[in-house]
Each structure stands twice: as structure tokens, then as C-alpha cells.
Amino acid sequence: MKKIKFLWLDDESKNTKRSVSDEFKMKEGFSKSSRFINVKNENVWNILEKDVYPTLDKYDLILIDHNFGGTQDTRLTGATVAESIRDRIKNRPIIAITNVPDIDIHKQSAYDDVIEFTRDISRKTDYLKSISEGYHVLSKKALADIDDLLKLMKAPKDDHERIKKIMPHELKSNITDPSFAYQFFKWSRFKFMERPGFLLDRLWASTLLGIKENRFSVVESLFEKAKYSGIFSKTSSDLWWQSQIKKLLFDTLADQPEMLPWRLGHALPGLTSNDIPLCHACKGEFPEVVAFTDETGKTSRPMHIKCTELHKEYESSLYFEDIRVMRAE
Amino acid sequence: MTTLRFTVDSALLGELGERLVEKVHYALVELVKNSYDADASYVTVKFIENDSGISEIHIIDDGIGMNFAEVQDYWMHIATTNKLNKDVSMRYGRPKTGSKGIGRFCCRRLGKKLTLITTGRNASKQEKTEVTFDWNAFTPGTKVTEITCQGKQETTKGDQTGTILIISDLTDEWTTRGYNYLKRQLAVLAANRGVRRDGFDEDPGFNIFIDAPSFEGEVRDLRSDLIKAGWGTVKAYINKSRKAVCELDALGIGRKTIVSEDKYSKLSDINMEIGIMILHRDQMRDTNIASMGTLREMLPEWGGVQIRYKGFRVYPYGDDDWLKIDEDRAYRRGTPNKELQAFAETLKGVDPGRALLSLSSMKNYIGNVEIGQAAKGFVMKANREGFLRSDEFEELRNFVRFAINWATIYHAFYIKEQTRKEAEASRASLQELIEQPIESQKVVEAAVNYLEKEFKSISSTLPTKQRQTASTAFYKATDAIVKHDQSNKEELKHLRLIASTSTLILIFSHEVKMLLGHLESSLLQLENIKESLGRTERNRIDDIQDWLRNSKGRLLELLDMTALIGVDSRKEAPKSLALHDRVESASKAFKVIADSYGITLDMNEIPSNIVVGPILEAELYAVLLNLLSNSIKSIIAADKERRIKISVKKSGGKVNMKFMDTGLGLNPDKHGDIFIPFIADIDGKLYSNLEKKLNPEDKYIVGTGSGLGLSIVKEILQARNGDIRILPPEGDWKAVLEVTLP
């Protein structure tokens, strides 16, 4: 893909975001002709009419501050602006960049995602590139059916039928809809990649293999083929296909009689029984799942299923792992 | 077989009229309700006077009226089931308000003679019927059905229907009290400013005019009077410079005007008048119209700010929260725009940042915004449900909210002033009593002294034994009042300090966030610079980046904790929390100071699977941070072994957490005092030793000791069915505190 050209709308007074925008432009993969428009004390609608709407198709990515309290309309939010932009161009990602990420779910739905500026904007360049590239691919490649989409996701054949079963009907039946990219990104990023099941993050992957998280790096290269590299892959931290992890594990240790992956992983080359993780709750070996330590869901740890219970605020979802919480003593 | 029939004695009319309707004003209310139920858009009630007082009452409406057959079959048919059959009115679908079938006999209660003139439709014709009823003829002993009433009937032209009731030879004297009752009751009906109901014509609303020279002197428009009866009325318009001109007339405030600094460049020919109806008896300007009862009945159905466009109501404005008032209340948005914040700063006692927290519900604002012929930019949607979104409409919303917000700030000021005045009045009245000036800080003390003096003079008349008993009781009670007052004053002083500090913390958090933003920008700069450097320099930059990211991580954790302070405890629900995780997070807050003084924290005896609660996360952190801070201070002051240990066990459904340290220890004789507010250093050793041992730059971390920490901890725990107590030291430990958590 050509270099990503972004448009950033913000009402900042201290030029911090402008400076970050300048640094983005310097980075590989971003176009130097990207623009930062400061709308402080301005009438945002006038700027949109004169300067933004007519040039929208030149940009690959739209970044918007959520809080536009510094503009002439102090009650305006980026969500309203995002809606008006998406009304005019469907196949561009729109990301909110804000200092106050506490945004109600209705307003959040106007954006593809919300990034907290002060927390992690400096680590989001790959993310922004990946989402822009994903949108670009979806807008250029005419998808005929769900199989084309599975190819873009680089989904293992073993998973095809199951993914087809859990993919929402609205997605499957609207592949040619102009807003498909937005709908697909939302599902893929916040359901498919977010909830462990088909894909696992580092903690889940290492727990499945029966290895301490900090020792997974020793055997990571063995599972390179299982790593998710499909569309939007860099919008999340590293993920691995669960089916492929198991396949590679059993292929590598074909001579072992043990069939439970979490009891087998420590036999991989370079690991010993010292690398077996302990259950956070009971300190016993071979935890099978990852669970929250309490209902706030702030911290996750490997645990035995018997030491956990279903988190009452989450529903079960076919082919995805249950969301569990530590059982109190 | 012989057929028998009931007959009705004329005395029944008296029973219905006088027994069912006790007072004349109740009767008149019923007759106006009949007009409402007859789909009238207005009713005029006239009190006609002659030299001897009120001689006639006229009730005139433009309702659907009655044709001749209806007069005969319904009006003159006692206790007809006509009303029972239909719960809502025919044309507009109004829920019927009149009592079932007795309204007409209220006429008899009001006067001895009635002329009914009514015009109603009969198929394609219009019939006017006039009947005169002389109730004197309906004397006991006569039969209702045998007395005739004179009437005439004619077919008229046009389509104006309606009913006129002329009641004369009045039976009772009208009092001001009765008249005010009438107004209050009718205010609920007058609040109907138009509404649409499925399957019916659009209801234009119901206007009530009362012409009662002896009571008012001029014709009263009840709706207009109602709007003026609440706490305040705010009127606003756009002047030639396109600025908002707002006028407030409010209780305790008087008449005030403001002209906005901001221009509403897209608005013209806009006027609004809104009554601010506060559901509080002391906050009504005219209790003859507004009362708690009528407002409670009226506001849920008829409250709201409607929009009229070129004279017609635009839906759904007024039924919905188009001004986002309830939304702002739900989100507790208390800060007005800069212009109004500056204005709020001019009013004593009003907190400019929270001045809108007293905003009432959208239903408490009752009135209209009129968009006139000259206004531009308002285009109705194709389905006639509101305007198309436009800059003009957004400006209109901002304009109305500006006026309402401005009035709200005055309301906040009014509340403050009232409280101050009430306190001032009670002080003045006490001053008058004791004939001496009293400082505002010493009112309780002066009141107690006065009581003491009075008590002495009264008790001197009692027998000795009774005097002694009474004296003991009196002095114990007054001592409790004085001590409690002193304690409250002290606590208030400190709470003020804490409250001001919490604002500072939020400002500080905001500034730290800004700094983190710069840090993010610098990290990106370093990333870009790194790409042009050699391997050695790149490694150095990597180290710097790692260090910056670690520092940032610590700051973010602390920021997350300060964010918990800002949590609205009414919205945030208490939860079950993993204790180990929270102790770990709390200990990180003291990591820098613990490391620099070599203090170790042993958490090995906190099982990972202990979950406490339900408790607010902020509360649990308050407990942990206070206890850790106390232990660290005590250890540094003692300057010996430097260890803290926390062990946790579960027993009897509760979690027992022991905090043990090697600090100064606690004097067993003073264990009871440690949880009393403002006792910061029970043995007087802690802070003097700390002064000597603590590096000056570390003082801010451990605090200066308000003496409130442990008392707050105890209160939090007790409120959550937990507790805290001191245990005798065990082993090498100098102090052991046991916390019980739910």
C-alpha cells in the first residue's frame, strides 16, 4: 500500500498533539502530506464544509479528538463530526484520540476505535497503519463471498466452517455494502480478536501450552505459523490461532502419549518442568484457563477451571472461551 | 299482575347538588371540567356583580356542545351512563376529568336558577338549545319527572359549537379562600398547552380565563398566572445585535437582566417565556395557584418547554429532552460555559464549577419558545416530527439553555442565600431574646448559656431532689450539644481543607496527564531520532525510552487511583475485589519511599484467592493506603528494624487482615483514642521523631498527619460491615492492627 495519509482534527491549545502528528509524518509508512487541523475557537462545521468534506477521499485515515469543547460550539463532540464524515465516505477508518476515554457506548459507536492519547499514542503507529491498510484492502478488493474474507483473515482451513457459523448474518449478507469495512473491523477487532477462542493472546497461548508466560518466548518461533497475520493483525497485540498451536504442539511432540496440551508444553525443546505455570488461586500445577482475579476484570491470571466460576456479566459464546473469574475461598 | 314503578322525588336534586358537592367552589370546578371533557379549547368563567355582590356566574366554552336530543337524553337524564361509557373525550381523546354524571347538578348547588344555552351538531345541522331551570320549582314532595322546564330550539348557521351556563340567584357567598381553591384546581387543566393523541384530532390545549372583579380586578389568564406562580419566570429574546437578552423575575432575586456576550448570529424573531416550577412549598411565588399537589399532578404530564413555529406547536419538543436538561443532570454536568462561569463567580456562595448541579428536571420548566414569521433556517421534517437538523436549531437550543442555565445559577444563589438568611434570622431572634450581640460562630454556645440561665431560674422553684436530678440531666445534655458542636466545627474545618485538596488533586492529575502527553510526543521523537543513529546510540536511546516508559507506567497507576477519588459513589457499585491485587497496587504507591528507607513489605501470607467486598475500590484503597502510610511513618520514626507484614485469613465468612510493623508501637493505655478524629500522634513521639529522621523531600509522601486517617478507615469499614481494632503485639512486631473485611 502507498504511504498512509491521515487527517487529524483537534481543538488543542498546547500543540502536543500537533507535535505527535508531526512525528507520525516522519515515521516510515506515513505520508508527509498528512494534515493536522486545529479547530480551536473555530466553527467546526464551516471548516468541515470548506476544507474537509471536499478532500476526504485523499485521506486513508481520519483522527478526531472526542472533546471539542474548545471550539465555538462547546457542546460538540467528535462523535457528531465522525458521523457526518462517515456519511460522506464509508471506507475510511475514523479513530478518536482523546485524553478522556470515558465515552458512552452510543458515541463510541461513531468511531472505529478510541485511543487514549496520554496512555499509549506513541505505541499506536503500527495499529494505525494496520487499520488503514485493512480498510484499503477491503475497499480495493471486491469480495464475492465469505470465503474471500476467510482468505483475507488467513484463517486455517480447520476453522473455516466454525468461523462461518459464528460470523453474524449481517456481515455475511452485506459483504458488498459500502460500510462493510467498518462493520467487519468492529466485529473482527472487538469480538473475534478480543475474545479468546479462535485466537489467543500471549497469556492464553502460554497457559494452553502449560508454560509460564515469561517463558513462552523460548518456544515462540516454533509457533510462528500459528501467529495471526491476517487483515487488521497489527491492531491487536500478537495473537495465535488456537487450532494451529495445538496442531504444531502435537506435531512437534508426536511421540508423547499425553493428549492435554497444558500438560505437554513444558516438554518442548528448551523448557523444563520449572516452566510449568501455577494456578493463581491454589498454586497447583497445570492451570487450564485464564481467568480474572475478581469481577472488576482488571487482572487476568492462569487458573484451574475448578478454581474459577463463570463471570456473571459475560454471556457464553459458541466456539469462544468462557469468561471466568477466580472463585473466592 | 300489577306493574309497579319507582318515582323520583325532587328532593333528590338537592341531595345530589348539596350533599355530593359540599362547597360552591367544588361545584364550579366540576363545571369547568365538563368544558374540558367537551373538548373546549377555552373556557371563560365570569363572576357578574351588582350592588349586593356576585349575582351571576357565567361559564362559556367552545366545546362540542349538545344538540337538542343530547340535552334531553343526557343532560336531563339523571346519573346518565354517558360518561361512564367513554373514558376519553370524543374529539381530542382527553382523559375525562369530571365526576361521573353529577357535574350538571353542581349548577343547582351554585344557584337557584340556570339558563343552559348550548349549540351542538346533529348530523349535518347545527342545533341551538336554550333551557331555563328554576330549581325552586323542584320542591320536596314533587316528582322530578312532572316538573317542566321552558326551552327553545333552533337550527343555526355556521360551525361554532359550545355551551353557555348562566347561573343566577346564587346560593352561597364566595370567599377568597374558595376562589383560590378554584384557581389551584383549574391550573392543572390550564397546563394543557396542546398535545397529540393517536386516533384523535390534535388537542390545541385548554385556556381558562377568569373574570372576577371582586377578587382580581381584571381578567386572569390562568395559564399565564400559573407560569408566574413558580419560583421564577425567565423571558428571553434575540436583540438586534443577535445577542440573547434574558430577564428573570424570581422569588428572592427580583427582576434581573443579562445580555449574552456570545452572538446567536443565525437567530431572529425568537421569544421565550418559561416558568421554573420547583417542587418545594417555600419556592413558589403564588401559592394561590401553585401548590405541591397541583404541581405534582401537572408537571409529569404537562411540564416541558414546547416550541411554537409561526403559532403552531412543533412536536415532539416539550415531550422530549430536546434541551438535554435531563441528560446533563444524569451525567452530573455542573459546569456552565465560560461566560456563565464568570457570572457565577460574581454571586457569593455559588461554586462556579458546579453551579448547574441544581438544574431541575426538564419537566420542571413549563413554557414556550416562539419562532416567529421572520425567523429563518427552520425547516420541518417531511413527517412533521420536528425540524431538520440545522445550525439554526443548534443555536436555538444553545440560546434557550443559556437562559435556563443563567436562571439556574441564580437559583443556586437563592438557595445559598435562603440558608444563610434562615441562620441569620435565628441568630437575630436569639440576640433579641438575650439582648446581646452574638457572633455567628458562637450561636450554639450563646443558646446553651441562655438555656442554662432560664433553667436555673425555673429549677430554683423545684424541690431539692428534683432540682438535682433535673440539673444533672440538663448539664449532661447541654455538654453533649456544646462538645458535639465543637467537634463538628473542627471536622468541618478539616473537611474544607480536604475538599479543597481533592480539587487540587484533580487539577494536578489533569496537569500530569498533559505532561504524559508531552512524554508520549517525546517518546515518538526519540523513536524517529533513533532510526538515524548507530547501534550504540540506539541502545542508549532504548534505555532512555525504557526508563521513561517505566516512570510513565508508575504515574499512570497513581493517576488511576486518583481517578477513583472522582468516582461518583452513587453510580459506582460496590464490588467483590481480589485483596492481593489491591495490596500490591497500594504498596506500589509507596515503593519509592519504602526502597529509599529500606523498608520491606512481606505479602507472602496473603492468599491470592481471597476476595473481599462488596466494597468500593476507592474505599479499599483508602484503608490500605492509610494503614501502609501509618506503618511507614512509624518505622522511619523508630529507626530500628524496618519491616511490615500483612497476613490474611478467612474465618466465619469474614476476612481478617493483620497489619504488623516494627515501628514505634502503640501505647496499650491509649488504644481507645487512636480512632478518634484529629488525634494524629497519640504518644507525641511520632512526628517529632519523623522530623529528625525523614528526608525533607519525602515529607509530602507520608503526609503531615491530620489525625483523620484512622477514624475515616474505621468509618468506611463499619459502613461495610467490617471493623478495625488494635491487637497486642506478637513476636518481634511492635504494632498489630486487625482489619475485618466483609
Whether chain B has a CB inside 8 Å of the CB on A85: the answer is no
Residues B243/B249/B253/B258 CA torsion (nearest 10 deg): 10
Band of residue B568 on the pLDDT scale cut at 50, 70, 90: very low
In this complex, is the C-beta atom of A152 within 8 Å of any C-beta atom belonging to chain B? no
pLDDT average, residue stretch B447-466: 89
Q: Return d(Cα A8, Cα B647) in angstroms, integer.
A: 52
3-state secondary structure of A274: helix
> What is the average per-residue pLDDT within B350-362?
86
The pLDDT value given to residue B712:
79
| B671 interface with A at CB cutoff 8 Å | no
Q: Does B518 touch chain A (CB under 8 A)?
A: yes
Question: What pLDDT is stored for residue B245 in this prediction?
Answer: 96
Q: Establish if A117 touches chain B: CB-CB under 8 angstroms.
A: yes
Q: Which residues of A touch B564 (CB under 8 A)?
A: none
Task: State the residue for C-alpha cell 465468612.
Answer: B653
Does B440 contact chain A (CB < 8 Å)? no
Is the minimum CB–CB distance between A318 and chain B shorter than 8 Å? no
Q: How far apart are the C-alpha atoms of B136 and B91, rounded to whole Å?
A: 36
CB contact under 8 A, A328 and B610: yes
Which residues from chain A sit within 8 angstroms of residue B523, using beta carbons? 122
Nearest to A295 among B516, B575, B580 (CB): B575
Is the separation of the CB atoms in A91 and A178 below 8 Å? yes
| Cβ-based contacts of A296 with chain B (< 8 Å) | 575, 577, 617
Residues of B in contact with A23 (CB under 8 A): 521, 524-525, 527-528
* Angstroms from B196 CA to nearest CA on chain A: 29
Beta carbons within 8 Å of B92's beta carbon, 6+ residues apart: B39, B197, B200, B201, B202, B203, B204
pLDDT at A102 over 90: no
For B561-597, b/e burial (b = at least 16 CB within 10 A) is: beeeeeeeeeeeeebbbbbbbbbebbbebbeebbeeb
Band the pLDDT of B567: cuts 50, 70, 90. Answer: very low
Residue range B638-655: average pLDDT?
90
Residue B513 touches chain A, beta carbons under 8 Å = yes
Least confident of A108-117, B96-105, B327-336, B653-662: B96-105
Handedness of CA B496, B500, B503, B509 (dihedral sign): negative
Mean pLDDT of A1-15: 89
Average pLDDT over residues B101-123: 83
Kindly provide the b/e burial profile for residues A235-249, where b requires at least 16 CB atoms within 10 angstroms of the residue's own CB: bbeebbbbbbbbbbb
Residue A315 identity: E
Percentage of residues in chain A having pLDDT higher than 70: 100
Q: What is the pLDDT of residue B100?
A: 58
In chain B, which residues have their Cβ closer than 8 Å to the Cβ of A280?
608-609
String of DSSP letters for B128-164: EEEEEEEGGG--TTSBGGG---EEEEEEE-SS--EEE
d(CA B332, CA A220): 49
* pLDDT tens, position by position, A191-231: 999 999 999 999 999 999 999 999 999 999 999 999 999 99
Is B528 touching A (CB cutoff 8 A)? Answer: yes
User: Which residues have a Cβ under 8 Å from the Cβ of B595 and sit 6 or more positions away?
Assistant: none
User: Which residues does chain B have within 8 Å of residue A118's beta carbon, measured at their own beta carbons?
Assistant: 513-514, 516-517, 520
Provide, as residue numbers in chain B, all residues whose Cβ is less than 8 Å from the Cβ of A14: 514, 517
| C-alpha grid cell, residue A167 | 460470523
Strand, helix or coil for residue B213: coil
The DSSP string of B4-47 is -----BTHHHHIIIIISS-SHHHHHHHHHHHHHHTT-SEEEEEE
Which residue's entry shows cell 375525562?
A: B96
Chain A contact probe: residue of B521, B567, B654 with most A CBs at under 10 A: B521
More confident residue, A100 or B422: B422
The residue among B612, B622, B552 whose CA lies nearest residue B580 is B612
CB–CB contact B578 A73 (8 Å): no
The reported pLDDT for the residue numbered B682 is: 58
Mean pLDDT rounded to a whole number for chain A: 92
Using CA coordinates, name the residue in chain B closest to A291: B609
Optimal mutation site among B333, B516, B520, interface A, most CBs of chain A within 10 A:
B520
Decide which of B719 and B153 is more confident.
B153
What confidence tier does B11 reach under pLDDT thresholds 50, 70, 90?
confident
Chain segment B497-522, per-residue pLDDT in tens: 665 556 566 667 777 877 888 888 88
> Residue B281 carries which DSSP code?
G
pTM: 0.56
Contacts with A, B 303-322, CB within 8 Å: none
Q: How far is A153 from chain B (nearest CA, A)?
A: 30
Reference A125, options A95, A98, A86; nearest CA is A95
Q: What is the DSSP letter of A278?
A: B
Question: What's the average model confidence in pLDDT over A13-19?
Answer: 84
Q: What percent of chain B has pLDDT over 90?
A: 29
Helix (H) or strand (E) holding A291: strand A289-292
Report helix, strand and coil shares of chain B as percent, to nearest 5. Answer: 45, 25, 30
B654-661 β-sheet, strand order: B600-605, B643-651, B654-661, B735-741, B723-727
Q: Is residue A10 very low, low, confident or very high in pLDDT (cuts 50, 70, 90)?
A: very high
In chain A, residues with a C-beta closer than 8 Å to the C-beta of B556 are 119
The CA-based angle B332-B338-B340, given to 5 degrees, is 75
8 Å CB contact of B524 and A23:
yes
Whether the CB of B73 is below 8 Å from some CB of chain A: the reply is: no
Task: Report the 10 Å Cβ neighbour count for B409.
Answer: 25
Q: Is A291 on the interface with B (CB under 8 A)?
A: no
CB atoms within 10 A of CB A101: 15
Instruction: Say which residue, A228 or B108, is predicted with more confidence.
Output: A228
Q: Indicate the range of B95-104, B340-349, B509-518, B564-573 predicted with least confidence.
A: B564-573
Contact between A27 and B527 using a beta-carbon 8 Å cutoff: yes
Chain A residue numbers with beta carbons less than 8 Å from the beta carbon of B514 are 14, 16, 118
Q: Which residues of A43-54 are buried (b: 16+ CB within 10 A; e: fewer)?
A: ebbebbeeebee
Query: Per DSSP, what are the bridge partners of residue A12?
Result: none
| CB of B3 less than 8 A from some CB of A | no
**Residue from A12, A293, A326 to probe the interface with B (highest B Cβ count within 10 Å):** A293
Q: Contacts of residue A16 in chain B, CB cutoff 8 Å?
A: 514, 517-518, 520-521
Please return the burial class of B125, using the count of CB atoms within 10 Å of its CB with bins 0-12, 13-18 and 19+.
exposed
Closest to B617 (Cβ–Cβ): which among A19, A296, A299?
A296
Across the interface, do A307 and B610 touch by the CB < 8 Å criterion? no
pLDDT of residue B569: 42
Mean per-residue pLDDT of chain B: 84
What is the chain A residue with the closest CA to B513?
A: A118
Tell me what pLDDT residue A322 has: 95
B531: nearest CA partner in chain A: A27
Cβ–Cβ gap A74/B337 under 8 Å: yes
B715-734: burial string, b at 16+ Cβ within 10 Å, e else? ebbeebebebebeebeeebb
B337 interaction partners in chain A (CB closer than 8 Å):
74
Structure ipTM: 0.79
In chain A, whose CA is at the least distance from the CA of B572?
Answer: A296
B78 near A CB under 8 A: no
pLDDT single digits (tens) B377-425: 998 887 777 898 889 999 999 999 999 999 999 999 999 888 888 888 8
Contacts of B524 in chain A (CB under 8 A): 20, 23-24, 27, 121-122, 125
> Which three three-digit cell numbers place residue B487?
467537634
Best of A20, A67, A76 to substitute, by most chain B Cβ atoms within 10 angstroms, is A20
From CA A77, how far away is CA B663, in angstroms rounded? Answer: 53
